[in-house]
Amino acid sequence: LEADDDKTEAALAARGQQDRLDAALTGLVRSRLPGALTLVRPASAVFLVPDEIANDLVTVEKLAAQILAAAAPVMKPGSGSVGIGNVANGVGELARSHIEARQALRLTRRAGSRGRVASYRSLGAFRLLLEVQSPEALRRFVDELLGPLLQYARSRDTPLLETLEALSAARWIRRAAARQLGIHINSMTYRVERIQALTGLQLDDPETRVAISIALRARAMLGM
């Protein structure tokens, strides 16, 4: 569990706030996470969950959501998020699991999400972005796929880049993306055709969709 921004982190570091956070979490941990080890810090908390719970990701995510709800009143007006690492097979892997949990938070926040539960396992292919050591390599990848749309966005009013993000978020279901954007399906069709004309990409191609989704997430990470 971590604060989502520096302001919330600083507020939680104030005298007495760690005790408030500890008190908010203690009852929940005792009742819902028997056998768990908990370390509460001024602006964060770490939970080591027993194997019988940790192996069920759905259960862990539900517990993480409850932890987030319990901590929310202490973090107001700010917010926090919970990251979940992969299962540690022994003490020697605890550090790796902790790093994964923080990486999941990092990637989720860079995509603009706050107050979320982020599982490293659920990141899927997006985990590869965390392994890329060169920001310039990521930037080139984004430019190759999205460059024409980034240039278009600087000079035109039609939000084609936002349309592409909505399509990716809606699993490429055009009607769902159109509803999300509040536009007619005919407008969505026009925008898709315009995106394809500008980029040369075929949005019905599965491999292209994966590449676009990764490029969109990389763009958020880089702040492009």
| pLDDT digit string, tens, across residues 162-171 | 999 999 989 9
Asked if residues 35 and 50 have their Cβ atoms less than 8 Å apart, the reply is yes
Asked if residues 32 and 103 have their Cβ atoms less than 8 Å apart, the reply is no
Q: What is the pLDDT of residue 122?
A: 77
Q: Give the tens place of pLDDT for each residue, 169-196.
A: 899 999 999 999 999 999 999 999 999 9
Q: What is the pLDDT of residue 153?
A: 87
In the chain, what are the domains? 2-129 (3.30.70), 132-222 (1.10.10.2840)
- Asked whether the predicted pLDDT for residue 199 surpasses 90, the reply is yes
Query: 128 vs 78, which has greater pLDDT?
Result: 78
Q: Give the tens place of pLDDT for each residue, 63-118.
A: 899 998 988 888 888 888 999 998 888 888 889 898 889 888 887 776 667 888 98
- Look at the block and give the residue holding tokens 């050591």: 133
Query: 36 vs 176, which has greater pLDDT?
Result: 176
> Can you say how many angstroms the Cα of residue 71 is from the centroid of all Cα atoms in its chain?
19
What tokens were used for 58? 């759905």
Residue 221 CA to residue 110 CA, distance in Å, equals: 5
- Asked whether the predicted pLDDT for residue 198 surpasses 90, the reply is yes
* Rg over CA atoms, the chain: 20
Query: 137 vs 118, which has greater pLDDT?
Result: 118
Helix residue spans in the chain (DSSP H)? 6-12, 17-32, 51-54, 57-75, 94-110, 127-131, 135-155, 160-169, 174-181, 185-199, 206-222
- Look at the block and give the residue holding tokens 């490029």: 215
Confidence of residue 35 (pLDDT cuts 50, 70, 90): confident
Asked if residues 47 and 33 have their Cβ atoms less than 8 Å apart, the reply is yes
177-69-67 Cα angle (round to 5): 110
Q: In percent, how much of the chain has pLDDT > 90? A: 28
Q: What is the pLDDT of residue 111?
A: 66
